[in-house]
Every structure is written in C-alpha cells, then in structure tokens.
Amino acid sequence: MDAVSTTATVAGGGPARSPLVARYDRPLRFYFLSTAIPWVLWFTAGYLSRSDHPNNLLIAVLGMAGLLAPMAVAWSLIRRDPVLVSDLRHRLVNLREIPVRFGLLAVLLMPGALLLATALSIPLGYSTDQFLLRGGLSFTAGLLPAWLTLTLAPVVEELAWHGYGTDALASRWTIWKTSIVFAVIWALWHVPLGTIKGYYQSEVVETGALATVNFLVSVFPFVILMNWIYYRSGRNIPVTIAFHLAANVGNEIFLTHPDTKAIQTALLVLLSAVVVWRERALFFGRPEQGLSGSESPITL
C-alpha cells in the first residue's frame, strides 16, 4: 500500500474512513491506557504534592511519565505495522500539503481570539493592562521549569492524539463525533492534573468555579477547530502542534484576566459553530463528500 498517496486521498475526504486510517483500529486500547496510566501517576503525584514533606523529584518524574504515556502507547500500537510507521513518518514531514491559510490559522487563531476577547472585555470594566506581557508564567511545575512543560506538552500530546488517537476514532465515526468524544476524553484526562500543587490546572481550579468550568468547556471548540485544520492540512501533525503551542503560549504571555478567557471561549464556540456549518461535508458527510484543503470554500 502506498501510504503517501492514500494519505492524500484521506486529506480530501470527509470522515477519514480510508483503508489507511482504518488501520488505526485500537481506539479502546489506546484511550484506556492513555488515560488510566496518567491518572494513576498524576493522582499519586497530586497526593504527594500536598503531603507535609513532598518528594519534588518523584513528583516531577510522575508528572513527566504521565505526560509521555499516551505517546508511548501510540508508538506501541504503530511500530509493528510498517504501513502505519510510513504514514506517521509522512504526516510528520508533509508540510507542503498544508494550505497557507491553514498554516496561518494554526499559529494565529488562538492568540487572535484571546486578543479580541481582551478588547471586548475593556468596555465591561476590565483593565487595559491585560494587553501587557506577563514577564513570566502564572504557574510552576515543581522541579521542572514551567516553560518546559508549557512548550513540551503540545509536542508530546499531539504525537499521541493526532499520531494515533484521533484517526482511531475517525476510522469508525464522523469527524464531528470524533471531535466531541475526544474532547470529553481529553477534558477528563486533565482532571488529575488539577490535584498537583503548583501545576497549571491546579491554579485554574484554585482560581474558582468559573475558571474551572471554562477550562473544561474550552476543550470542545479547541478540538473542533484543531481537527478542522488537521484534516484540511493532509492530516499533518506539526500543524496541530503549532495550534496547541500557540494556544498555550498565547494564554500565558499576557496579563489576561480569567474572565476574559471565558469571553475567548464564547468566541471560539461561535467560530466552531460557523466552521462546522460551513464544513458539513467534512464533519458529517461520507468520505467521498469532503473537499481537499485547497478546494475548501471556507474563507476567514
């Protein structure tokens, strides 16, 4: 099987049910292990982080092991199939298949939505200082530099989620259902991180109920928009890393008020609704109904 040519066909399809994507056929095993292992490691780290004498080295090891676990699970399911190995290799380097507008969207969409939300928050009484650079990060990560976890997480996560997990769901379901199911799983996947003292998710929980609910809700439009860009870019993995990284960095470099992030989520919900409506063939149609990235009628 020619993995490269089949990938091009998939990129032009709606729900990515092709003979190639159908080979990603272990969704239950992948998501069970990719969730259960981090949960055990991170809940343990959370318990230790709140003890009287926390072992910071062990907490850091548990935290990093949980982050790397889904990528390791994905590789264990791919490595024995030379076709999947070839497909993964191609999707890591097929940068030329990314339409320019989708490459720009991957980098600019999330920071742009945050800046627009910030502008909308000013008439509501929030400070213009939100446009200033933070000059640091709002969280710590124990012994690990916070900037390292901020930038490393998008890389290792997307190598798992879009290296195996997303296509494993899309091999059975529409991209719409794939996105919603994955968003639920991903939101739950983050839950134990909220127990590790000093971690970003823990800081979100301590900020209050609105910030916590917003974080969980924001996962849904985030996944929908990322999968849209992913499938319109030839199932390219680096484009999802760029999207995820831009969101992480954009949300940390400014002095953004937590309420403004709720406005950002509302904007992303509206945008994702427009995208899903305009891209009905991609999200709901049969494989042959989708359009290739270069033929997409979406203009933003």
Using CA atoms, how far apart are residues 296 and 12, in angstroms rounded to an integer?
10
Which residues does 252 contact at the CB level (< 8 Å), separation at least 6? 134, 137, 138, 150
In terms of Cβ atoms closer than 10 Å to its own Cβ (0-12, 13-18, 19+), residue 177 is: middle
pLDDT score recorded for residue 202: 87
**DSSP-assigned states of every residue in 55-110:** -HHHHHHHHHHHHHHHHHHHHHHHTT-HHHHHHHHHHHH-GGGS-HHHHHHHHHHH
72/4: higher pLDDT: 72
Catalytic residue ranges: 157, 190
pLDDT tens figures, 85-101: 999 999 999 999 899 99
How far is residue 11 CA from its own chain's centroid?
A: 19
Using CA atoms, how far apart are residues 271 and 265, in angstroms rounded to an integer?
10
pLDDT score recorded for residue 153: 92
pLDDT tens figures, 128-180: 999 988 876 655 556 667 777 788 999 999 999 999 999 999 999 999 999 99
- Would you say residue 7 has pLDDT above 80? no
pLDDT tens figures, 181-206: 999 999 999 999 999 988 888 888 98
pLDDT score recorded for residue 133: 84
pLDDT score recorded for residue 139: 54
The per-residue pLDDT of the chain, averaged, comes to 87
- Would you say residue 23 has pLDDT above 60? yes
pLDDT score recorded for residue 11: 41
pLDDT tens figures, 35-91: 999 999 999 999 999 988 889 899 999 999 999 999 999 999 999 999 999 999 999
The residues spanned by each domain of the chain are 3-295
pLDDT score recorded for residue 300: 35
